[in-house]
Structure 1
Protein backbone atom coordinates (compact mmCIF):
# COMPACT_ATOMS: atom_id res chain seq x y z
CA UNK A 1 0.00 0.00 0.00
CA UNK A 2 1.30 3.45 -0.91
CA UNK A 3 1.97 6.26 1.57
CA UNK A 4 1.25 8.82 -1.16
CA UNK A 5 -1.79 10.95 -0.34
CA UNK A 6 -4.75 10.57 -2.63
CA UNK A 7 -5.75 13.24 -5.07
CA UNK A 8 -8.81 15.32 -4.28
CA UNK A 9 -9.10 16.82 -7.74
CA UNK A 10 -11.29 16.23 -10.72
CA UNK A 11 -10.09 15.77 -14.26
CA UNK A 12 -11.40 18.29 -16.78
CA UNK A 13 -11.12 18.46 -20.54
CA UNK A 14 -10.02 21.32 -22.78
CA UNK A 15 -13.60 22.19 -23.70
CA UNK A 16 -14.60 22.59 -20.03
CA UNK A 17 -11.62 24.87 -19.39
CA UNK A 18 -12.26 26.94 -22.53
CA UNK A 19 -15.94 27.39 -21.63
CA UNK A 20 -15.16 28.39 -18.05
CA UNK A 21 -12.55 30.91 -19.21
CA UNK A 22 -14.92 32.35 -21.84
CA UNK A 23 -17.61 32.74 -19.17
CA UNK A 24 -15.17 34.71 -16.99
CA UNK A 25 -15.06 32.09 -14.24
CA UNK A 26 -12.69 32.82 -11.37
CA UNK A 27 -10.06 30.16 -11.92
CA UNK A 28 -6.31 29.94 -11.98
CA UNK A 29 -4.31 27.93 -14.51
CA UNK A 30 -0.97 26.64 -13.17
CA UNK A 31 1.38 25.15 -15.77
CA UNK A 32 3.83 22.81 -14.02
CA UNK A 33 6.16 22.21 -16.97
CA UNK A 34 9.71 23.55 -17.13
CA UNK A 35 10.19 27.25 -17.89
CA UNK A 36 11.59 26.32 -21.32
CA UNK A 37 8.50 24.23 -22.17
CA UNK A 38 6.25 27.02 -20.89
CA UNK A 39 8.09 29.57 -23.02
CA UNK A 40 7.61 27.40 -26.12
CA UNK A 41 3.81 27.31 -25.76
CA UNK A 42 1.34 27.94 -22.96
CA UNK A 43 -2.27 28.81 -22.26
CA UNK A 44 -2.79 32.55 -22.23
CA UNK A 45 -2.98 33.91 -18.69
CA UNK A 46 -1.51 30.79 -17.09
CA UNK A 47 1.23 30.89 -14.45
CA UNK A 48 4.38 28.81 -14.76
CA UNK A 49 5.10 26.91 -11.54
CA UNK A 50 7.61 24.16 -12.43
CA UNK A 51 6.85 20.91 -10.62
CA UNK A 52 10.13 21.03 -8.64
CA UNK A 53 9.33 24.57 -7.43
CA UNK A 54 5.77 23.59 -6.60
CA UNK A 55 6.93 20.61 -4.55
CA UNK A 56 9.52 22.67 -2.68
CA UNK A 57 7.14 25.56 -1.89
CA UNK A 58 3.83 23.69 -1.76
CA UNK A 59 2.68 25.12 1.56
CA UNK A 60 3.24 28.75 0.48
CA UNK A 61 1.59 28.16 -2.88
CA UNK A 62 -1.35 26.18 -1.47
CA UNK A 63 -2.11 28.97 1.02
CA UNK A 64 -2.79 31.34 -1.90
CA UNK A 65 -4.99 29.06 -3.98
CA UNK A 66 -8.37 30.41 -2.93
CA UNK A 67 -10.17 29.73 -6.21
CA UNK A 68 -10.53 26.83 -8.63
CA UNK A 69 -7.13 25.76 -9.95
CA UNK A 70 -6.48 23.89 -13.20
CA UNK A 71 -3.12 22.11 -13.31
CA UNK A 72 -1.52 21.72 -16.74
CA UNK A 73 1.54 19.95 -18.13
CA UNK A 74 2.35 18.35 -21.47
CA UNK A 75 0.24 15.21 -21.14
CA UNK A 76 -1.19 15.19 -17.61
CA UNK A 77 1.38 13.12 -15.68
CA UNK A 78 3.22 16.03 -14.01
CA UNK A 79 -0.09 17.81 -13.39
CA UNK A 80 -1.27 14.70 -11.50
CA UNK A 81 1.91 14.79 -9.39
CA UNK A 82 1.29 18.48 -8.68
CA UNK A 83 -2.28 17.63 -7.73
CA UNK A 84 -1.14 15.06 -5.17
CA UNK A 85 1.43 17.52 -3.79
CA UNK A 86 -1.06 20.38 -3.42
CA UNK A 87 -3.77 18.07 -2.07
CA UNK A 88 -1.36 16.95 0.66
CA UNK A 89 -0.75 20.64 1.45
CA UNK A 90 -4.47 21.20 1.97
CA UNK A 91 -5.78 22.41 -1.40
CA UNK A 92 -9.13 20.94 -2.35
CA UNK A 93 -10.12 23.07 -5.33
CA UNK A 94 -7.90 21.38 -7.91
CA UNK A 95 -8.57 20.17 -11.43
CA UNK A 96 -6.16 18.41 -13.80
CA UNK A 97 -6.40 19.17 -17.53
CA UNK A 98 -6.82 15.74 -19.12
CA UNK A 99 -4.32 15.33 -21.94
CA UNK A 100 -2.49 18.54 -20.97
CA UNK A 101 -1.22 21.00 -23.56
CA UNK A 102 -1.52 18.35 -26.26
CA UNK A 103 -5.28 18.15 -25.71
CA UNK A 104 -5.59 21.94 -25.40
CA UNK A 105 -3.83 22.52 -28.71
CA UNK A 106 -5.57 19.70 -30.57
CA UNK A 107 -8.96 21.09 -29.51
CA UNK A 108 -8.07 24.29 -31.38
CA UNK A 109 -7.67 26.53 -28.33
CA UNK A 110 -5.45 29.62 -28.37
CA UNK A 111 -1.81 29.14 -27.36
CA UNK A 112 0.85 31.77 -26.66
CA UNK A 113 4.05 30.78 -28.47
CA UNK A 114 7.63 31.81 -27.75
CA UNK A 115 11.08 30.40 -28.50
CA UNK A 116 10.64 26.80 -29.61
CA UNK A 117 12.40 24.01 -27.72
CA UNK A 118 11.97 20.28 -27.68
CA UNK A 119 9.52 19.09 -25.03
CA UNK A 120 11.06 17.21 -22.13
CA UNK A 121 9.37 13.94 -23.10
CA UNK A 122 10.89 14.14 -26.60
CA UNK A 123 14.33 14.77 -25.08
CA UNK A 124 13.92 11.69 -22.86
CA UNK A 125 13.02 9.56 -25.89
CA UNK A 126 16.09 10.85 -27.76
CA UNK A 127 18.54 10.25 -24.91
CA UNK A 128 17.10 6.87 -23.88
CA UNK A 129 16.92 5.68 -27.49
CA UNK A 130 20.45 6.89 -28.18
CA UNK A 131 21.84 5.11 -25.13
CA UNK A 132 20.03 1.86 -25.97
CA UNK A 133 21.09 1.96 -29.63
CA UNK A 134 24.73 2.74 -28.85
CA UNK A 135 24.95 0.11 -26.10
CA UNK A 136 23.48 -2.58 -28.37
CA UNK A 137 25.89 -1.65 -31.17
CA UNK A 138 28.79 -1.58 -28.68
CA UNK A 139 27.73 -5.00 -27.33
CA UNK A 140 28.79 -6.57 -30.64
CA UNK A 141 32.36 -5.80 -29.55
CA UNK A 142 31.97 -5.58 -25.76
CA UNK A 143 29.19 -8.06 -24.83
CA UNK A 144 28.60 -6.61 -21.37
CA UNK A 145 27.49 -3.28 -22.90
CA UNK A 146 24.05 -4.85 -23.43
CA UNK A 147 23.44 -4.36 -19.70
CA UNK A 148 23.42 -0.59 -20.22
CA UNK A 149 20.42 -1.06 -22.55
CA UNK A 150 18.87 -3.30 -19.90
CA UNK A 151 19.37 -0.60 -17.27
CA UNK A 152 17.67 2.00 -19.46
CA UNK A 153 14.80 -0.43 -20.07
CA UNK A 154 14.43 -1.01 -16.34
CA UNK A 155 14.50 2.74 -15.71
CA UNK A 156 11.80 3.39 -18.32
CA UNK A 157 9.67 0.60 -16.86
CA UNK A 158 9.99 2.07 -13.38
CA UNK A 159 9.19 5.54 -14.78
CA UNK A 160 5.97 4.22 -16.28
CA UNK A 161 4.91 2.32 -13.16
CA UNK A 162 5.72 5.17 -10.76
CA UNK A 163 4.56 7.95 -13.11
CA UNK A 164 7.88 9.74 -12.52
CA UNK A 165 10.93 10.18 -14.72
CA UNK A 166 14.40 10.53 -13.23
CA UNK A 167 15.92 11.09 -16.68
CA UNK A 168 13.41 13.86 -17.36
CA UNK A 169 14.24 15.50 -14.04
CA UNK A 170 17.95 15.38 -14.89
CA UNK A 171 17.43 16.72 -18.41
CA UNK A 172 15.31 19.59 -17.07
CA UNK A 173 18.45 20.84 -15.24
CA UNK A 174 20.50 21.19 -18.47
CA UNK A 175 21.28 24.74 -19.67
CA UNK A 176 19.20 24.12 -22.82
CA UNK A 177 16.12 23.72 -20.64
CA UNK A 178 16.82 26.72 -18.45
CA UNK A 179 15.15 30.04 -19.10
CA UNK A 180 14.49 32.78 -16.64
CA UNK A 181 11.64 31.39 -14.59
CA UNK A 182 9.57 32.94 -11.85
CA UNK A 183 11.18 32.72 -8.45
CA UNK A 184 8.91 31.32 -5.71
CA UNK A 185 8.53 34.61 -3.82
CA UNK A 186 7.60 36.43 -7.03
CA UNK A 187 5.13 33.67 -7.88
CA UNK A 188 3.37 33.89 -4.52
CA UNK A 189 3.19 37.68 -4.94
CA UNK A 190 1.60 37.19 -8.38
CA UNK A 191 -0.94 34.73 -6.99
CA UNK A 192 -1.96 37.06 -4.17
CA UNK A 193 -2.09 40.16 -6.38
CA UNK A 194 -3.91 38.75 -9.38
Structure 2
Protein backbone atom coordinates (compact mmCIF):
# COMPACT_ATOMS: atom_id res chain seq x y z
CA UNK A 1 0.00 0.00 0.00
CA UNK A 2 1.42 3.36 -1.05
CA UNK A 3 1.12 6.86 0.36
CA UNK A 4 -0.86 9.42 -1.59
CA UNK A 5 -0.63 13.19 -1.27
CA UNK A 6 -3.80 15.05 -0.20
CA UNK A 7 -4.48 16.75 -3.55
CA UNK A 8 -4.23 13.47 -5.47
CA UNK A 9 -6.40 11.80 -2.80
CA UNK A 10 -9.01 14.51 -3.33
CA UNK A 11 -9.10 13.69 -7.05
CA UNK A 12 -9.54 9.99 -6.24
CA UNK A 13 -12.37 10.76 -3.80
CA UNK A 14 -14.09 12.94 -6.38
CA UNK A 15 -13.86 9.97 -8.78
CA UNK A 16 -15.61 7.65 -6.30
CA UNK A 17 -12.95 6.33 -3.92
CA UNK A 18 -13.93 5.92 -0.26
CA UNK A 19 -12.07 7.72 2.52
CA UNK A 20 -11.78 5.72 5.76
CA UNK A 21 -10.84 7.50 9.00
CA UNK A 22 -9.17 5.00 11.37
CA UNK A 23 -9.08 7.39 14.35
CA UNK A 24 -11.35 6.95 17.33
CA UNK A 25 -14.94 8.15 17.17
CA UNK A 26 -14.23 11.05 19.57
CA UNK A 27 -11.39 12.29 17.33
CA UNK A 28 -13.60 11.92 14.25
CA UNK A 29 -16.41 13.93 15.87
CA UNK A 30 -14.02 16.75 16.77
CA UNK A 31 -12.65 17.26 13.25
CA UNK A 32 -13.04 15.20 10.11
CA UNK A 33 -12.68 15.27 6.36
CA UNK A 34 -16.19 15.63 4.90
CA UNK A 35 -17.48 12.32 3.59
CA UNK A 36 -14.99 10.16 5.50
CA UNK A 37 -16.28 6.93 7.03
CA UNK A 38 -15.26 6.46 10.65
CA UNK A 39 -13.95 2.92 11.17
CA UNK A 40 -11.72 3.07 14.26
CA UNK A 41 -8.61 0.91 14.04
CA UNK A 42 -9.71 -1.16 17.05
CA UNK A 43 -13.00 -1.96 15.24
CA UNK A 44 -11.31 -2.92 11.98
CA UNK A 45 -11.67 -6.70 11.78
CA UNK A 46 -11.50 -8.35 8.40
CA UNK A 47 -12.43 -6.82 5.04
CA UNK A 48 -14.28 -3.52 4.81
CA UNK A 49 -17.97 -3.91 3.93
CA UNK A 50 -17.76 -1.93 0.69
CA UNK A 51 -18.77 -2.81 -2.85
CA UNK A 52 -16.03 -4.70 -4.72
CA UNK A 53 -13.61 -2.65 -6.76
CA UNK A 54 -14.13 0.62 -4.87
CA UNK A 55 -10.70 2.16 -4.16
CA UNK A 56 -9.97 3.09 -0.53
CA UNK A 57 -7.89 5.84 1.07
CA UNK A 58 -7.10 5.40 4.77
CA UNK A 59 -6.22 8.27 7.07
CA UNK A 60 -5.52 9.13 10.70
CA UNK A 61 -4.46 12.45 12.27
CA UNK A 62 -0.79 12.62 11.24
CA UNK A 63 -0.18 9.54 9.12
CA UNK A 64 1.68 7.64 11.86
CA UNK A 65 -1.14 5.20 12.65
CA UNK A 66 -1.80 4.41 9.00
CA UNK A 67 1.92 3.86 8.40
CA UNK A 68 2.42 1.64 11.45
CA UNK A 69 -0.69 -0.46 10.68
CA UNK A 70 -0.24 -0.65 6.91
CA UNK A 71 -0.40 -4.47 6.78
CA UNK A 72 -3.66 -4.53 8.73
CA UNK A 73 -5.15 -1.82 6.49
CA UNK A 74 -4.07 -3.69 3.36
CA UNK A 75 -5.86 -6.76 4.72
CA UNK A 76 -9.00 -4.69 5.36
CA UNK A 77 -8.84 -3.29 1.82
CA UNK A 78 -8.80 -6.79 0.38
CA UNK A 79 -8.45 -6.83 -3.42
CA UNK A 80 -9.23 -3.12 -3.74
CA UNK A 81 -6.68 -0.49 -4.59
CA UNK A 82 -5.72 1.22 -1.34
CA UNK A 83 -3.60 4.15 -0.23
CA UNK A 84 -2.54 5.88 2.98
CA UNK A 85 -3.17 9.63 3.08
CA UNK A 86 0.22 11.29 3.42
CA UNK A 87 0.29 13.44 6.55
CA UNK A 88 -3.22 12.32 7.53
CA UNK A 89 -5.78 14.93 8.52
CA UNK A 90 -2.98 17.38 9.35
CA UNK A 91 -1.57 17.03 5.82
CA UNK A 92 -5.04 17.45 4.32
CA UNK A 93 -5.51 20.68 6.28
CA UNK A 94 -1.98 21.93 5.35
CA UNK A 95 -2.88 21.38 1.68
CA UNK A 96 -5.74 23.86 2.15
CA UNK A 97 -8.45 21.23 1.76
CA UNK A 98 -11.68 21.50 3.77
CA UNK A 99 -12.38 19.84 7.10
CA UNK A 100 -15.50 19.86 9.24
CA UNK A 101 -15.05 20.86 12.88
CA UNK A 102 -17.58 20.36 15.64
CA UNK A 103 -18.15 23.67 17.39
CA UNK A 104 -17.34 23.38 21.07
CA UNK A 105 -16.24 19.74 20.83
CA UNK A 106 -14.14 18.58 23.80
CA UNK A 107 -10.55 17.44 23.48
CA UNK A 108 -10.06 13.82 22.50
CA UNK A 109 -10.40 11.48 25.47
CA UNK A 110 -6.76 10.39 25.30
CA UNK A 111 -5.59 13.99 25.57
CA UNK A 112 -7.94 14.60 28.49
CA UNK A 113 -6.37 11.62 30.29
CA UNK A 114 -2.89 13.01 29.60
CA UNK A 115 -3.88 16.42 30.99
CA UNK A 116 -5.37 14.97 34.19
CA UNK A 117 -2.43 12.63 34.79
CA UNK A 118 0.06 15.44 34.15
CA UNK A 119 -1.78 17.82 36.47
CA UNK A 120 -1.98 15.26 39.31
CA UNK A 121 1.74 14.44 39.01
CA UNK A 122 2.68 18.13 38.90
CA UNK A 123 0.49 19.09 41.87
CA UNK A 124 1.69 16.09 43.89
CA UNK A 125 5.33 16.94 43.17
CA UNK A 126 4.93 20.62 44.08
CA UNK A 127 3.05 19.78 47.29
CA UNK A 128 5.73 17.21 48.20
CA UNK A 129 8.49 19.78 47.68
CA UNK A 130 6.71 22.55 49.58
CA UNK A 131 4.73 20.81 52.33
CA UNK A 132 5.39 17.14 52.92
CA UNK A 133 7.04 14.23 51.11
CA UNK A 134 3.85 12.26 51.76
CA UNK A 135 2.31 14.07 48.79
CA UNK A 136 4.58 11.93 46.58
CA UNK A 137 1.99 9.20 47.14
CA UNK A 138 -0.36 11.34 45.06
CA UNK A 139 1.98 10.92 42.08
CA UNK A 140 1.86 7.12 42.45
CA UNK A 141 -1.87 6.97 41.60
CA UNK A 142 -1.57 8.09 37.98
CA UNK A 143 1.54 5.93 37.61
CA UNK A 144 -0.39 2.89 38.76
CA UNK A 145 -3.29 3.82 36.48
CA UNK A 146 -0.94 4.07 33.49
CA UNK A 147 0.57 0.67 34.31
CA UNK A 148 -2.88 -0.92 34.47
CA UNK A 149 -4.01 0.82 31.27
CA UNK A 150 -0.87 -0.19 29.42
CA UNK A 151 -0.94 -3.81 30.50
CA UNK A 152 -4.69 -4.49 30.25
CA UNK A 153 -6.05 -1.93 27.80
CA UNK A 154 -8.51 -0.73 30.45
CA UNK A 155 -8.22 2.92 31.45
CA UNK A 156 -10.47 3.71 34.39
CA UNK A 157 -9.74 7.43 34.13
CA UNK A 158 -10.85 7.46 30.49
CA UNK A 159 -14.10 5.76 31.50
CA UNK A 160 -14.70 8.36 34.22
CA UNK A 161 -13.87 11.25 31.90
CA UNK A 162 -16.15 9.83 29.18
CA UNK A 163 -19.08 10.19 31.61
CA UNK A 164 -18.36 13.84 32.36
CA UNK A 165 -20.98 16.33 31.10
CA UNK A 166 -18.63 17.98 28.60
CA UNK A 167 -18.02 14.61 26.90
CA UNK A 168 -21.65 13.58 26.60
CA UNK A 169 -23.41 14.01 23.29
CA UNK A 170 -25.58 17.08 23.34
CA UNK A 171 -29.11 16.71 21.97
CA UNK A 172 -29.62 18.74 18.84
CA UNK A 173 -32.21 21.48 18.83
CA UNK A 174 -35.39 20.64 16.99
CA UNK A 175 -35.66 22.25 13.59
CA UNK A 176 -38.89 23.34 12.00
TM-score range, shorter chain: 0.5 to 0.7
Partner of 1:76: 63
Say if 1:65 and 1:91, in contact at 8 Å, map to a contact too: no
1:18 aligns with 2:10: yes
Say if 2:63 and 2:88, in contact at 8 Å, map to a contact too: yes
1:35 aligns with 2:25: yes
Mapping of 1:113-192 within 5 angstroms? Answer: 113-115=101-103, 116-120=105-109, 122-140=111-129, 141-142=133-134, 145=137, 148=140, 151=143, 171=158, 174-175=162-163
What is the number of residues matched between the two proteins?
157
> Residues of 1 paired with 2:2 and 2:123: CA distance?
43
Partner of 1:101: 89
> Residues of 2 paired with 1:169 and 1:104: CA distance?
34
Give the superposition deviation at 1:48. Answer: 0.8
The structure whose Rg is larger is 2
Give the superposition deviation at 1:47. Answer: 0.5
SS at match of 1:71: strand
> Residues of 1 paired with 2:84 and 2:28: CA distance?
17
Say if 1:30 and 1:48, in contact at 8 Å, map to a contact too: yes
TM-score if structure 2 supplies the norm length? 0.65
TM-score if structure 1 supplies the norm length? 0.60
1:52 aligns with 2:42: yes
- State the Cα RMSD in Å: 3.8
Could you tell me which runs of 5 or more consecutive residues in structure 1 were left unpaired when the two chains were aligned.
1-8, 160-165, 180-194
Give the superposition deviation at 1:49. Answer: 0.8
Give the superposition deviation at 1:167. Answer: 8.5
Which of 67-76 and 12-21 deviates more?
12-21
Larger RCO of the pair (alpha carbons < 8 Å, separation 6+): 1
